[in-house]
Structure 1
Amino acid sequence: MTTALAPLAEPWSPAEFEVRLREVAGERYHDRHPFNLRMHSGDLTPAELRRWIANRFHYQRHIPVKDALITAKLDTPALRRMWLRRIQDHDGPAEGEGGIERWLRLGEAAGLDRERLLAADDVLPGVRLAVDGYVNFCRLRPSLEAVAASLTELSAPDLMRTRIDAFERHYRWIEADGLTYFRTRVSQGRRDSREALDLVLEWARTRDDQERAVAALRFKCDVLWSLLDAVEAASSREENP
């Protein structure tokens, strides 16, 4: 007896697919994490904020690494040129420039030693695992999923604006020049998310492709949430040794 195969699900329309991606970014992005809520309310101690800066730097310095892995998957010069710009945004066109340098200056403005940041001695195990997981995801998964995972940038510009306001309002002990990274990422995040979204909408033609793209974005949200879980847990241990 022959068993009939279940019919394949119809792909979502481009508009519905985009809505589903934006819903993931809107509902699962780490701006809702308790640690970020405390940060934006001005409730972090200097020690907690410095711990976050140091551990988030471990993520920041791996952004060009994961983007290099994505670039290697792209099959046209135009796409590679577009994605290579992301690497330059973070590594900088020259020594002393770029997003990683700006994050180091944020650390210095908060009273952290540059060499200690670079040594990564203060990075928490949970943060290392989260960052390694994301880098390996971009190494091992197809280009559609690796690019879709970057769509947390859909929510990044609003978060950057909220963060700038919070730092200026509540953490005035941090020198104003240290906020340059956040200011730069408002426009960069808007541009990058639009480019990545266009690619994902173009590449995901089947329902299976679309669902894998949505799952990739969920995974990236989990990475960012897990990073903050580790930082929050360290703060709790400090308060309750």
Structure 2
Amino acid sequence: MTTAPVRSTPRAVHPAAPDDGPLPPALFEAELRKLARSRYHDTHPFNVRMHRGELSPNELRTWVANRFHYQRSIPVKDALILAKLPEPAMRRSWLRRIQDHDGLADGEGGIERWLRLGEAVGLDRAELESGRSVLPGVRFAVDGYVNFCRLSPALEAVASSLTELCAPSIMMTRLETFPVHYPWIEESGLSYFRSRVPQGRRDGAEALTWVTDWARTRDDQLRALSALAFKCDVLWALLDGVEQGSRPGGA
């Protein structure tokens, strides 16, 4: 079994500013970006094997089915965050994220595109929507993230979304590698990855602006860093569950 690298907590790798005062916004932004890059799940062994073309069809199907539990939870957690936002303009802007995933009508949106990915890898849509194949570890990680967004203040809930800063890169990697390594997947099934490149750039930039503006003290900044680290761990734990569950006898 591959052992995941040990990753330090934000407080261990990001010492307080002199006199415990807040870092200037530019330096705080650099901290957030560094944390996201260092802990993002693109370096998880399962993702590394995926992008090298080393996954079996069964492993890919297990990933798509379990990741769908995360995908369908995104608009739920975003609705919980939206309710915490203090200004109408912020709520209108955040609402766009829910619409991106749920669509403005049936047959539209990111959830629908993920279902089409499921069909493209050979999964039955009704079975995928039933959630019966979701592994316990994946369910625990994703539901824990939804509860984090339900219970946390707006600063930490929004900061946890900053994995969006890294999302465009991993989506582009999949767009480049899937047609080469998994040509049996129809090109139309990759539309989710394509749509998330501009959405991720837009959403990551917006959330970053809000978090750097809201975090007025060093304690605020550390809480934002911890929230981002938690989200990175959620994505990492999801892949731990998929990696274990896709092995023969592992589920």
Shorter-normalised TM range: over 0.9
Given candidates 24, 27, 51, the residue that maps to 1:13 is 24
Given candidates 180, 193, 203, the residue that maps to 2:214 is 203
Given candidates 107, 111, 114, the residue that maps to 1:100 is 111
Q: Pairwise mapping of residues 183-194 of structure 1 onto structure 2 (< 5 A)? A: 183-194=194-205
Structure showing greater Rg: 1
Structure 2 residue 72 is matched with structure 1 residue 65: no
RMSD: 1.3
Given candidates 54, 69, 72, the residue that maps to 1:43 is 54
Query: Does the Cα contact within 8 Å between 2:84 and 2:154 map onto a contact in 1?
Result: yes
Q: Match for residue 94 of structure 2?
A: 83
How much has 1:68 moved relative to structure 2? Answer: 0.1
How much has 1:15 moved relative to structure 2? Answer: 1.1
Structure 2: gaps of 5 or more residues? 1-17
Structure 2 residue 249 is matched with structure 1 residue 229: no
Query: For 1:223 and 1:24, how far apart are their aligned partners in 2?
Result: 14
Q: Find runs of 4+ consecutive structure 1 residues off by over 3 angstroms.
A: none
How much has 1:8 moved relative to structure 2? Answer: 5.8
Partner SS for 1:111: coil
Percent identical residues: 68
Q: Which one-letter code corresponds to 2:112 in the other structure? A: E
Q: Which one-letter code corresponds to 1:26 in the other structure? A: R
Query: For 1:25 and 1:84, how far apart are their aligned partners in 2?
Result: 24
Structure 1: gaps of 5 or more residues? 1-6
Q: Match for residue 114 of structure 1?
A: 125
Q: Which one-letter code corresponds to 1:186 in the other structure? A: V
Q: Match for residue 3 of structure 1?
A: none
Q: Match for residue 39 of structure 2?
A: 28
Structure 2 residue 63 is matched with structure 1 residue 52: yes
Pair 109,190 (structure 1): closer, same or farther in 2 beyond 3 Å: same
How much has 1:234 moved relative to structure 2? Answer: 1.5
Query: For 1:67 and 1:239, how far apart are their aligned partners in 2?
Result: 35
Query: Does the Cα contact within 8 Å between 2:22 and 2:216 map onto a contact in 1?
Result: yes
Query: For 2:152 and 2:220, how far apart are their aligned partners in 1?
Result: 12
Query: For 1:56 and 1:119, how far apart are their aligned partners in 2?
Result: 13
How much has 1:235 moved relative to structure 2? Answer: 2.6
Query: Does the Cα contact within 8 Å between 2:244 and 2:250 map onto a contact in 1?
Result: no
Query: Does the Cα contact within 8 Å between 2:52 and 2:177 map onto a contact in 1?
Result: yes
Query: For 1:18 and 1:210, how far apart are their aligned partners in 2?
Result: 10
Length-normalised TM-score, structure 2: 0.91
Q: Pairwise mapping of residues 119-134 of structure 1 onto structure 2 (< 5 A)? A: 119-134=130-145
Deviations 1:100-125 (A, max 9, x none): 00000000011100000000010000
Deviations 1:128-179 (A, max 9, x none): 0001110000000000000000000000001000011111110010010000
